Amino acid sequence: METVFRYISMPILPQINPQFSLSNMHPSNYRMRLFFDLLRIFVLPSVVFYLITTQLIKMNINLLMTPPSYFVFIICWLISKSFLTRILQRAERQKLGAKRIPCIRGAWPGNVDVLLKMLRAFKTSYILDVYLQLFEEYQCTTLNTRILWTDHIITMDQEHIKFVLSTGFEHFWRGRWQKERMERFLGQGIFNRDDEMWRMVSEIHDKCQRSAFTDTIVTQKNQHRGNTRPFFARERISDFDIFERYTAQTLNIISSPSSHSVGKTPIDVQDLYSRFALDAASEFLFGQNLDTLSATLPVAGKTKMGPKGSATEDPWGSFASSFEMAQQVITARSRVGYFWPVFELFRDKNALNAEVVHQWLDPLVRCALGEKEKMKKAGICSPVAEKNFLQHLAESTDDPIIIRDQLLSLLLAARDTTACLLTFVTYFMAIYPDVTKRLRAEVLEHCGAAGSITYEQLRNLKYMRAVINETLRLYPPVPLNVRESRAGGCSLPPSDPTFKADYNANMMDHDPRPLHMPGSTAITFLPLLAQRNKELWGSDADVFDPDRWLEGERLSRFVANPMMFTPFSAGPRICLGQNYAYNEASFFLVRLLQQFDTFSLAPEVQPDGSLPPPQWKHKKGRQAEEKIWPAAALTLFVKGGLWVRVAREAH
């Protein structure tokens, strides 16, 4: 009976027991993980049922093995496990002096009705509005969805996001389930690893850090970032030669009468900015231009909609489609939840996408390793400061998989962050002409109509920085992210004041204890909702107003609480490339505004299904006035691309 009780006390799904024997299984073995989980969930109860009926009760097995009796036993088994899981969590809460996170209560067992409703809503709802409606319904900023009897926490609470990213960083990690979803695409990249591997990747480059910047002390806590830190130092990113070349090439495409009649034929600027960011990043990181700006461009009214924008029929289009579809697959897996492998038993949906992406990156890796071998034989050793990121990685390891996965992670960050930022800045310039006029006036005042651009000049563009920050506030490149709590659980800090009035009016909420974060449980945090929270940013939080970053009283909100603005994450895993992104975007916008002064949307050429649904007009917040369809698949994008007419008036 002791053995039987031990099996019964196991949770329905592996969220309380992090020491399960399969915990060290490689994330790519998702089918094997699913197999053993299904054995435990379905086969184990059958075995226990057989043992109880034949060995303990010794009743007629033919009678007991009828479907109704077996079904009743399974229901009792699930209820017992759920009950015992709650007992374990209650003991954990008592130990921490915490209370339970409010839980969604659906009409169907396992909140299946809530899951189905959310999956349907995702198809037509505004970005993250599905979650916002839940928070408003339950009048709290942190919720347990409890889908299929599995704890999954969602939060828009600024204090809880701060705890996950920074002050309580040691209580969370990427987690097994997120790695499993991303493994085929991101592999051993820095965005898909924790602990030893995370530190190992950093220690490879920590040697570079010590030799290149001898006056910099790197703590053990931040060693994971030693890999990339030297390549994002100010003295490297303030050299704008790379930005200049690819900005000029991009603006030539906009100006070229052979490809577009300036101001008349719309351009998908999201696609163009993605190419610009990728080409600049590839030279910055690899020393080699992928030359996507020279590939086939989307054509207004003819190009089909791709996974995250426009789709073109050429080698670059194949790469972009696979690159973006891989992100869509990961997002879909996350929405389905724990049992997503059931739908990919016979085919990994990201296998082909990863293969196409690897075909682009593998030759770069082989070339770098080959050059390393040649230099080694010749006895040549270049100074670290003269190496690009790829060369340094090749110097640090001979493993081509590790090198490729690191390159892919940085490409994803460099391309999507800058492209997203420039896309939404252009969107705002198109719908708010006064912002464009003011931006251009500042550019001409500080940078002139032409000539070189310096780091100091960019620093003097206060209004441009305000426009960029306001864009990042409303449309952060990563609108939501996921972590998993470590074993043992923890308590979350007091909630922010979003629903304070309703909180105090509820009898249950007079309990001053902190919320209990169960161990080995996923938590999805939503920076986009936190950065549009009226309780934090004021009643005009949904309004695009760059002046909030310039006026002392309004800016004081952010100065007093900088963690309410985290477009580049925060804490030990803060994005080291944020200054690179700010500089690159600012440089590009200066050159763009030196040449053009008029931007207008072209909704008539948006692909079918990419304009906002009519029902958005009757909603509240930004979605009621939205002219485009913001969507997310790891990173934010405009559905169908952002088709814009770019023009200059005669002077």
Q: Report the DSSP pairing between strands 142-144 and 152-155.
A: antiparallel
Contact 472, 527 (CB under 8 A): no
Q: In sequence order, which residues have a C-beta less than 8 Å from that of residue 150 and are 6 or more positions away?
A: 12, 13, 15, 337, 338
* Distance from C-alpha of 322 to C-alpha of 400, rounded to nearest angstrom: 21
The number of residues making up the chain comes to 651
Q: Work out the angle at residue 348's Cα, subtended by the Cα atoms of residues 26 and 636, and round it to the nearest 5 degrees.
A: 90
* Distance from C-alpha of 642 to C-alpha of 651, rounded to nearest angstrom: 27
Task: Tell me the one-letter amino acid at 425.
Answer: V
Strands (E), 281-350: 304-305, 310-311
Q: Any idea of the CA torsion for 470, 471, 473, 474, to the nearest 10 degrees?
A: 120
* Distance from C-alpha of 193 to C-alpha of 203, rounded to nearest angstrom: 14
- CA of 317: how far to CAs of 293, 311, 496, in Å? 11, 6, 44
Closest CA to 386 of 308, 293, 476, 287: 287
User: Tokens for 337?
Assistant: 């939840």
575 is in an annotated binding site: yes
Contact 633, 327 (CB under 8 A): yes
Q: Work out the angle at residue 374's Cα, subtended by the Cα atoms of residues 371 and 377, and round it to the nearest 5 degrees.
A: 150
Q: Which residue has the tokens 């939503």?
A: 526
Q: Any idea of the CA torsion for 151, 152, 157, 162, to the nearest 10 degrees?
A: 100
Where is the binding site for heme, in residues?
575
Where is the binding site, in residues?
575
